[in-house]
């Protein structure tokens, strides 16, 4: 029996339905494609491309997505899925355009309509898929069931916090001897439902022991996922096979100049538009802050920016004016609060926070002025946390790596538990982001930020 079992309605294992999950992904793509086809006709009008030709393009694209394994593979990070869908659709659009140059599309508008349809589909399909994962990921039937073999029970809870991966943790085993007898193991583990995936996390084992554990797991499960230490070399490397030689290479954390340029343009456009749209709300917040307590409505604090360069971050003031002095008194008089502050660099129930400030922090409204920091170039919409200079010595000697990226208003830390994470966990979360930074990761994190902020999840 597992040490912990995630039940549904109090009995049995969660029964996922990979078939219905795949059908939901197909339905999302059908919706995206038909929506774009309809919009293309509204934009171009009659007399351009015939409906049969556009539907042929649409069907061909869906077949291409299927051939790319995007319906068969459920367990995948949404950012990677968004990238693959985008590349597949753009490639098919390009090939179709190149192959039909000799075909009469009636007018040049026909080609424009095809380009519009292809580009629209390439952007809408990944967005709808990511939205689907965020909305249906917590449903009991969506995804693949997964058993976990680890002595770190926190992994079970961590995996439950990211249901969009498509991996449903249903059973936790703290001892790997459950795999010693393959037949009995399969019967025991799958007695109340089919489990195709197993996640192994035993960092205390050496290479030979892990190889043996993986071999045993392969006899029971269709898919085996290995979880390394956060500081493991596998977080740093890319893997390539040349003939029979397995080659590891160091993954570059700096990207080609086009990536940062596109990110900067995106930051400027979105931050400026959001600032203008929220300006009336910010005026109201500023008035409420002034009425609630004495002091300026905007609070400035020195933070570490790109490559360690300091800058002043702007926030709505959420604390009393004598916050620093009161913090020193609190930590000196209460050993429990002192230990909490050393662990989290925050207090869960901070008496220094004002009444209005508590609401602002819950929904991250205090961070709206940071849009100005983004426009000025000190911050990005998505990035690692903006650390205070005095925190640099506590960043586990990973400060140089984290500071290679501009700090962000949102980031992986924002959607991974926010203030529930200890300071050390936040550092490793930022390292994980920096080692996997991409345009698609940023887009997905922005999408995930919206429901997290609206729900106040993980806020103080």
Residue 253 has pLDDT above 80, yes or no: no
What are 289-336's pLDDT values in tens digits?
999 988 899 999 999 999 999 999 999 999 888 777 888 888 888 888
Average pLDDT over residues 110-127: 89
pLDDT at 233: 45
pLDDT at 157: 79
Instruction: Report the C-alpha gap between 338 and 330 in whole angstroms.
Output: 8
Both structure tokens of 193: 């439902």
Stronger pLDDT, 247 or 178, i.e. the higher one? 178
Mean pLDDT of the chain: 83
Highest mean pLDDT among 27-31, 160-164, 238-242, 342-346: 27-31
pLDDT at 442: 93
pLDDT at 61: 92
Domain spans of the chain, in order of start? 4-16+143-227, 18-136, 258-318+353-455
Looking at the chain, the whole-number percentage of residues with pLDDT higher than 70 is 82
What are 220-237's pLDDT values in tens digits?
888 888 876 655 544 555
- Report which secondary-structure segment, H or E, holds 408: strand 408-410
Closest CA relative to residue 421, chosen from 460, 381, 379? 460
Where residue 255 falls (left for φ over 0; alpha for ψ -120 to 50; beta otherwise) is: beta
* pLDDT bucket at 371, cuts 50 / 70 / 90: very high
* pLDDT bucket at 2, cuts 50 / 70 / 90: low
Residue 248 has pLDDT above 90, yes or no: no
Contact in structure between 342 and 422 (CB atoms under 8 Å) = no
Average pLDDT over residues 428-438: 89
Strand locations in 151-271, DSSP E? 167-173, 197-201, 223-226, 237-242, 245-250
pLDDT at 240: 47
* Fold of domain 4-16+143-227: Rossmann fold (3.40.50)
């Amino acid at each position: 029996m597992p040490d912990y079992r995630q039940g549904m309605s109090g009995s049995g294992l969660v029964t996922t339905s990979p078939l219905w999950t795949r059908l939901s992904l197909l339905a999302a793509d059908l919706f995206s494609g038909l929506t774009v086809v309809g919009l293309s006709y509204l934009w171009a009008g009659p007399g351009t491309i015939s409906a049969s030709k556009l539907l042929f393009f649409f069907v061909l694209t869906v077949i291409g997505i299927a051939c790319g394994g995007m319906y068969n593979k459920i367990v995948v990070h949404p950012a990677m899925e968004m990238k693959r869908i985008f590349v597949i659709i753009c490639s098919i659009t390009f090939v179709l355009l190149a192959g039909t140059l000799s075909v009469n599309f009636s007018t040049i508008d026909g080609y424009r309509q095809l380009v519009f349809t292809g580009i629209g589909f390439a952007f809408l399909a990944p967005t709808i898929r990511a939205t689907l994962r965020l909305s249906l990921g917590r449903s009991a039937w969506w995804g693949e069931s997964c058993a976990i073999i680890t002595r770190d029970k926190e992994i079970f809870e961590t995996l439950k916090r990211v249901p969009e991966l498509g991996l449903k943790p249903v059973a936790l085993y703290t001892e790997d001897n459950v795999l010693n007898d393959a037949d009995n193991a399969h019967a025991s583990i799958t007695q109340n439902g089919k489990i195709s995936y197993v996640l192994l996390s035993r960092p205390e084992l050496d290479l030979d022991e892990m190889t043996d554990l993986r071999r045993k797991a392969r006899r029971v499960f269709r898919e085996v996922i290995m979880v390394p230490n956060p500081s493991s070399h596998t977080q740093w490397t890319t893997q390539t096979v040349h003939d029979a030689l397995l080659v590891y290479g160091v993954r570059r954390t700096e990207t080609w100049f086009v990536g940062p340029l596109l990110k900067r343009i995106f930051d400027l456009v979105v931050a400026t538009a959001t600032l203008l749209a929220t300006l009336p709300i910010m005026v109201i917040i500023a008035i409420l802050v002034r009425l609630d307590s004495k002091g300026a409505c905007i609070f400035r604090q020195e933070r570490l920016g790109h490559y360690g360069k300091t800058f002043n971050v702007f926030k709505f003031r959420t604390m009393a004016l004598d916050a620093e002095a009161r913090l020193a008194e609190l930590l000196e008089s209460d050993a429990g609060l002192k230990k909490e502050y050393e662990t989290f660099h925050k207090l869960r129930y901070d008496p220094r926070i004002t009444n209005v400030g508590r609401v602002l922090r819950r929904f991250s409204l205090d961070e709206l002025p940071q849009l100005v920091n983004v426009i000025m170039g000190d911050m990005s919409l998505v990035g690692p946390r903006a650390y205070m200079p005095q925190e640099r010595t506590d960043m586990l000697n990973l400060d140089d790596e984290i500071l290679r990226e501009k700090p962000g208003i949102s980031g992986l830390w924002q959607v991974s538990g926010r203030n529930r994470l200890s300071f050390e966990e936040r550092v490793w979360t930022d390292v994980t982001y920096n080692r996997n930074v991409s345009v698609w990761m940023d887009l997905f994190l922005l999408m995930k930020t919206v429901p997290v902020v609206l729900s106040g999840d993980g806020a103080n």
